[in-house]
């Protein structure tokens, strides 16, 4: 098994997008789907996780091909020209906008599908019972319809913003490129010079504007951050918000903690052992190391990649999910023991039993006068006008019918 995996994992350093997608699939998606509490949650998590991964890969690739066609002529110019650089910047911004919008919108799409399939509005219902009951009151049906419409609206608005984030930079870059070619005037040359000579700003411009070059801090800001922001914003109750917060904190820790520390330590050891400043297969292949040392360096990198994948599975997929299952279970138990309702579908108010009809026999002179119990606040809609002993009952109060059998002592 390892003999099959190691050579293939070792080639991923040259394909950062494929590397990110594979790590997300093995280290995030599959463990989270396996560690679920109900069939409804399993569907919910699968939609969210696979949806993010597929949209990341397919959406980014599709946008990359589209923008490549738009700027094919502009990028035929030399790489230092304003025409080429505007195309490179516009393609990068288009990729970022696409990634951010689809990651942000996906949780609302998940909510729509889960609500449609299970009829549940709250996360606690999804993880406990697998969905709300099939029979629903008109108020519950209205709440479901409102939730479906709201999730669809938010997803479409976010995707619309993403499309605008692609269109405006692309339109400007095309205009700037054509103006430069026609008039010879280098539009925005000073701005481009500042951008390309600033190390931090330049790191956000993808090489050639290509999607496959997305890696590092830009992938965190335009892929990871929008995904977790979307999950938090689309949370269906306080329990889900708490779970997302834990996953986001864990993701941030893994990105800046073990990942960077291990890379620093391994890079230091690699340089000391092989004398190479760059820890990559390309550097090893281009080096003057003899055959034995090249093979040793390649094995070092292969095991480093496999170990990194194992850390991703343990820290990103398994640990936060087990922690959330334990903590949410405790919160639910504590809340239910205190009688706190879950934030799901509105519960139809219980209608108290109708008071017994008054009897003239009970009201006869010399007999104890039995007054029917009347609640101080009658639930809205409990009685329809003209039906029941309190036929004219209204919202928050009651009134009596015009004629009541027996003596009118009840009015005293």
The pLDDT of residue 383 is 40
Backbone angles phi, psi at 289, to 5 degrees: -65, 150
The pLDDT of residue 341 is 65
Cβ–Cβ < 8 Å for 247, 320: yes
Model-wide pTM > 0.85: no
pLDDT-based confidence at residue 407 (cuts at 50, 70, 90): very low
Which has the minimum average pLDDT: 174-188, 242-256, 347-361? 347-361
Cβ–Cβ < 8 Å for 178, 185: no
The pLDDT of residue 128 is 87
pLDDT-based confidence at residue 24 (cuts at 50, 70, 90): confident
The pLDDT mean for the chain works out to 77
The pLDDT of residue 182 is 77
Going by C-alpha positions, the residue among 144, 196, 192, 152 that lies closest to residue 172 is 192
The pLDDT of residue 3 is 47
The pLDDT of residue 288 is 75
Return the number of other C-beta atoms located less than 10 Å from residue 59's C-beta.
18
Kindly list the distances between the CA atom of residue 280 and the CA atoms of 4, 286, 299, in Å, as whole numbers in the listed order: 20, 10, 11
Kindly list the distances between the CA atom of residue 330 and the CA atoms of 318, 320, 333, 336, 340, in Å, as whole numbers in the listed order: 19, 15, 5, 10, 14
Spatial distance between the Cα atoms of 98 and 66, rounded to a whole number of angstroms: 12
Q: Summarize the confidence of residues 286-294 as an average pLDDT.
A: 79
Kindly list the distances between the CA atom of residue 238 and the CA atoms of 111, 132, 312, 332, 335, in Å, as whole numbers in the listed order: 15, 18, 27, 11, 12
Q: Tell me the three state secondary structure of residue 204.
A: coil
pLDDT-based confidence at residue 11 (cuts at 50, 70, 90): low
In the predicted model, is pLDDT for residue 211 greater than 70? yes
The pLDDT of residue 103 is 94
Report the share of the chain in percent with pLDDT over 70: 75
Cβ–Cβ < 8 Å for 209, 85: no
Per-residue pLDDT tens digits for 53-77: 888 888 888 999 999 998 988 888 8
Q: Which two tokens stand for residue 138?
A: 């008109």
Which has the minimum average pLDDT: 34-43, 113-122, 176-185, 225-234? 176-185
Going by C-alpha positions, the residue among 221, 201, 193, 111 that lies closest to residue 155 is 111
Per-residue pLDDT tens digits for 83-142: 888 999 999 999 999 999 999 999 999 999 999 998 888 999 999 876 555 557 888 889
Per-residue pLDDT tens digits for 351-391: 455 555 444 444 455 555 544 444 444 444 444 433 444 33
Going by C-alpha positions, the residue among 392, 396, 388 that lies closest to residue 349 is 396
In the predicted model, is pLDDT for residue 207 greater than 70? yes
37 by Cβ neighbours in 10 Å (0-12 / 13-18 / 19+) ranks as middle
Provide the H-helix boundaries in 238-318. 238-256, 258-274, 281-286, 291-312
Spatial distance between the Cα atoms of 44 and 285, rounded to a whole number of angstroms: 45
Question: Max Cα separation, the chain?
Answer: 119
Per the model's pLDDT, the better-predicted residue between 166 and 373 turns out to be 166
Please report the DSSP string for 293-315 in residue order: HHHHHHHHHHHHHHHHHHHHIII
The pLDDT of residue 322 is 93
Spatial distance between the Cα atoms of 89 and 209, rounded to a whole number of angstroms: 7
Domain ranges of the chain: 13-264, 350-412
Spatial distance between the Cα atoms of 138 and 156, rounded to a whole number of angstroms: 27
Find where tokens 């411009």 sit.
Answer: 205
Q: What is the dihedral of CA 43, 255, 67, 76, to 10 degrees?
A: -150
- Give the side-chain half-sphere CA count within 13 A for 46: 11
In the chain the first and final C-alpha atoms are separated, in Å, by: 89
Q: Which two tokens stand for residue 83?
A: 């025409």
Kind and range of the H or E run holding 391: none
């Amino acid at each position: 098994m390892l003999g099959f995996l190691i050579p293939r994992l070792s080639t991923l350093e040259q394909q950062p997008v494929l590397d990110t997608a594979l790590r997300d699939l093995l280290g995030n998606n599959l463990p989270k789907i396996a560690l679920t509490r109900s069939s409804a949650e399993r569907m919910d998590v699968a939609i969210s996780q696979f949806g993010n991964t597929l949209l990341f890969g397919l959406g980014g690739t599709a946008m990359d091909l589209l923008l490549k066609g738009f700027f094919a002529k502009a990028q035929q110019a030399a790489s230092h020209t304003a025409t080429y650089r505007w195309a490179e910047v516009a393609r990068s911004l288009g990729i970022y906008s696409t990634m951010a919008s689809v990651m942000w919108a996906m949780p609302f799409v998940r909510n729509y599908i889960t609500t449609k399939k299970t009829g549940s509005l709250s996360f606690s219902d999804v993880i406990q019972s697998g969905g709300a009951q099939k029979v629903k009151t008109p108020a519950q049906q209205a709440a479901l319809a409102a939730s479906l419409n709201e999730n669809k609206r938010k997803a479409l608005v976010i995707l619309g913003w993403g499309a605008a984030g692609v269109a405006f930079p692309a339109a400007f870059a095309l205009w700037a490129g054509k103006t430069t070619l026609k008039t010879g005037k280098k539009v925005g040359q000073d701005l481009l010079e500042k951008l390309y000579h600033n190390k931090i700003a330049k790191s956000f411009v993808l090489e050639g504007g290509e999607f496959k070059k997305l890696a590092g801090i830009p992938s965190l800001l335009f892929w990871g951050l929008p995904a977790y922001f979307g999950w938090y914003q689309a949370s269906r109750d306080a329990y889900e918000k708490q779970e997302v917060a834990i996953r986001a904190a864990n993701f941030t820790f893994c990105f800046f903690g073990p990942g960077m520390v291990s890379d620093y330590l391994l890079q230091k050891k690699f340089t000391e052992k092989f004398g190479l400043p760059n820890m990559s297969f390309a550097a090893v292949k281009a080096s003057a190391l003899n055959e034995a040392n090249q093979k040793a360096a390649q094995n070092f990198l292969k095991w480093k990649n496999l170990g990194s994948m194992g850390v991703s599975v343990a820290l990103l997929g398994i640990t936060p999910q087990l922690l959330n299952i334990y903590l949410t279970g405790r919160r639910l138990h504590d809340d239910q023991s205190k009688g706190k309702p879950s934030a799901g579908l509105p519960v139809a108010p219980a209608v108290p039993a109708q008071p017994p009809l008054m009897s003239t026999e009970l009201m006869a002179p010399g007999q104890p006068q039995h007054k029917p119990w009347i609640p101080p606040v009658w639930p809205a809609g409990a009685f329809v006008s003209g039906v029941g002993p309190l036929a004219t009952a209204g919202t928050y109060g009651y009134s009596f019918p015009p004629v009541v059998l027996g003596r009118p002592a009840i009015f005293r």
